[in-house]
Amino acid sequence: MKPAPFTYERADSAADAAARLAEDGDAVAVLGGGQSLVPMMNLRLATPSRLLDITRAPDLARIERSNGHLEIGAAVRQAQAEDSPLVAGAVPLLHEALADVAHREIRNAGTIGGSVAHAEAAAEIPTVALTLDAEILARNARGTRTIAARDFFLSYLTTALEPDELLVGLRFPVAGPGSGGAFVELAARKGDYALVGVAAHVVLAGGRIERAALGYLGAGGTPLRAPAAEAALAGVTPTAEAFASAAAQAQDELSPPDDIHASSAYRRRVAGVLTRRALAVAVARARGEDPAKEEM
């Protein structure tokens, strides 16, 4: 199929994009990599009358580290972030997860901001943002505001962005000493959306888990956290038994969907297995070890 008629516009900066959205935000679709939007337009699931391309705006394509945070512009290509030493050093969990986003050809076009703004519940980047308590930077013609990732994903493909707002970047906390993370997912084929996946991040202190974060994709209408499981891990000595207990707790918190690809019960079971594996690797990395994924 072909998309409905639309006009193409190109923004030269974030300010220019915000000004164009102010004209009639409801009629505008923001184009990043187009890996999700363009197929939706071709199927006429999305029918914007104006398409606003932000990929040529230099101020939306920056990766910068300052004040304990790494800021990634909305138009940064996923492959660019994957190859960035800044990302690998400052936010290793995001660096690891990016390798599981579709295929390299897709990541060459897809953008960091586009994935988060699209808010696909089985997508890796939104899940990492939620797990690490990232901040989403949104801008309109009146100014910029910061939205916590936990408040950003409202429901399936729905976010807290207003019609006249543009996602201009993400701000991730830099991984500190004694921290480690791991990202694992199960997909029918490499590059497919995951049936379920887990992002784990832990901070160790005195041989115990000071705090833990567990994020899940493919387990609901949005990326999800498992707060009860996270709380159960706080202050405990990291052991296989502690990981199994947290995994069981997380399973109780999740209600994954049934669909033609997998049942809810299967997804819950896999989520438990992946939780144990991710926690074991995250703790090992927090101790300065670097187990290969194949060892999980």
Residue 240's pLDDT band, with cuts at 50, 70 and 90, is: very high
pLDDT beyond 90 at 296? no
Contact 114, 215 (CB under 8 A): no
Residues 189 and 285 grouped into a single domain: yes
1 belongs to a structural domain: no
Beta-carbon contacts of residue 46 (< 8 Å; ≥ 6 apart): 29, 37, 40
**Is residue 265 one of the residues assigned to a domain?**
yes
- Is the pLDDT at 190 greater than 60, yes or no? yes
Span 66-84, mean pLDDT? 97
pLDDT surpasses 90 at 24: no
Name the strands in the sheet holding 28-31, side by side, starting at the edge strand that comes first in the sequence: 7-10, 50-53, 28-31
pTM here is 0.95
In the predicted structure, residue 25 carries a pLDDT above the cut 90: no
Residue 295 in domain: no
91 and 165 assigned to the same domain: yes
Question: Could you tell me if 157 and 252 lie in one domain?
Answer: no
Q: Are residues 282 and 185 in the same domain?
A: yes
In the chain, the number of structural domains is: 3
> What CATH number corresponds to the domain at position 280?
3.30.390.50
37 lies in the same domain as 77: no
- Neighbouring residues of 119: CB distance < 8 A, sequence distance ≥ 6: 126, 152, 153, 156, 157, 158, 159, 222
Using pLDDT thresholds of 50, 70 and 90, give the confidence band for residue 103.
very high
- 256-281 pLDDT, tens per residue? 999 999 999 999 999 999 999 999 99
- The one-character DSSP state at 62 is -
Q: What is the pLDDT of residues 108-136, one digit of tens each?
A: 999 999 999 999 999 999 999 999 999 99
pLDDT confidence bin for 57, thresholds 50/70/90:
very high
**Structural domain for 88, as ranges:** 66-173
Q: Does residue 146 lie within any of the structural domains?
A: yes
Predicted local confidence at residue 291, as pLDDT: 81
Give residue for tokens 């006009």: 7
- Say which CATH number the domain at 169 has: 3.30.465.10
50: exposed, middle or buried (C-beta count within 10 Å: 0-12, 13-18, 19+)? middle
pLDDT single digits (tens) 167-189: 999 999 999 999 999 999 999 99
Tell me whether residue 2 is in a domain.
no
Residue 61 lies in a domain: no
Same domain, 114 and 23: no
Residue 99 and residue 160 share a domain: yes
Q: In the predicted model, is pLDDT for residue 293 greater than 60?
A: no
Q: What is the per-residue pLDDT across 202-216, written as a single tens digit (0 to 9) for each?
A: 999 999 999 999 999
